[in-house]
Amino acid sequence: MKGCDLMAKTVNAKKSGKQVASEVSPEVALIMGSQNDLPILEKSFTIFEQFGIPFTVRVMSAHRSPDVAIEFARNAEAAGIKILICAAGMAAHLAGVTAGHTILPVIGIPVPSEPFNGLDALLSTVQMPPGIPVGTVTAGKAGGINAALYAISILALNNPELTKKLKAYRAEQTAQVIKADQELNRNLQH
Ligand code: RP5
């Protein structure tokens, strides 16, 4: 999957193994502060594709293109977006600035970078002043996965079909751990 091909495109659920452009309105907006943050958000793409959630992907910086980021946040609700996910590194203000311009839930993913390995982005994202919350997830690629799953759990509140898929996802995950445990013990006995 080439990130630049995806920028500013609305994509829908995986069909026949391919992401497809869609007329369906995106439910989730995935925003990254730099295209260098793409490897983190690609983890979210995979989860949303798996669950059939339409999403849009943008590169918008709170610092380098602040007007674009703010305009997007202001218009998101009217555009039918339900949740925004923001991935940014260093002095990561993208999620906070976005949250300041919309009442929609905003999930922040801190992106690790030199020299502080994401601690800077974590604190910048999570330490919001009272009144403007950002739901902050794990830094890095695990955060890409968890941000998507967290967004899906919010969307599932009003979507029984999605709830079913989420429960199946968890059950499969549990089955994999149990299988790994059994295999490990089988191997150790030999
Ligand atoms: C942040 O600054 C971006 O989210 C990125 O993680 C970091 C560095 O940006 P680049 O110099 O890699 O574009 O705004």
pLDDT by residue, tens only, the chain of 190 residues: 333 344 444 444 343 333 444 568 999 999 999 999 999 999 999 999 999 999 999 999 999 999 999 999 999 999 999 999 999 999 999 999 999 999 999 999 999 999 999 999 999 999 999 999 999 999 999 999 999 999 999 999 999 999 999 999 999 999 999 999 999 999 998 7
The structure tokens listed for 89 are 């590194």
Pocket of ligand 1 (CB under 6 A): 33-34, 36-37, 61, 63, 88-90, 111, 113
pTM over 0.85: yes
Tell me, what's the pLDDT at 82? Answer: 98
Under a CB-based contact definition with an 8 Å cutoff, are residues 163 and 176 in contact? no
What ranges do the domains of the chain cover? 3-158, 160-190
Residue from 30, 36, 59, 122 whose mutation best tests the ligand 1 pocket (most atoms within 8 A of CB)? 36
Q: How far does the centroid of ligand 1 lie from the alpha carbon of residue 61, in Å? A: 8
Q: What is the pLDDT of residue 23?
A: 62
Work out the end-to-end distance of the chain between its first and last CA atoms, rounded to an integer number of angstroms.
Answer: 41
**Architecture of the domain defined by 3-158:** 3-Layer(aba) Sandwich (3.40)
Q: Is 77 helix (H, G, I), strand (E, B) or coil?
A: coil
Ligand 1 atom 12 nearest Cα: 36
Alpha-carbon span 17 to 11, nearest angstrom: 13
Q: Which atom of ligand 1 is nearest to the CA of 89?
A: 6
Q: What is the pLDDT of residue 190?
A: 72
- 107 touches 134 (CB < 8 A): yes
**Distance from CA of residue 87 to its chain's centroid?**
8
At residue 53, the pLDDT reads 97
**Sign of the Cα pseudo-torsion (31, 32, 35, 39, in order):** negative
Q: How much distance in Å is there from the Cα of 89 to the middle of ligand 1?
A: 6
How far apart are the CA of 16 and the centre of ligand 1, in A?
34
Q: What pLDDT shows up at residue 151?
A: 98
- Alpha carbon of 41 to ligand 1 centroid (Å): 13
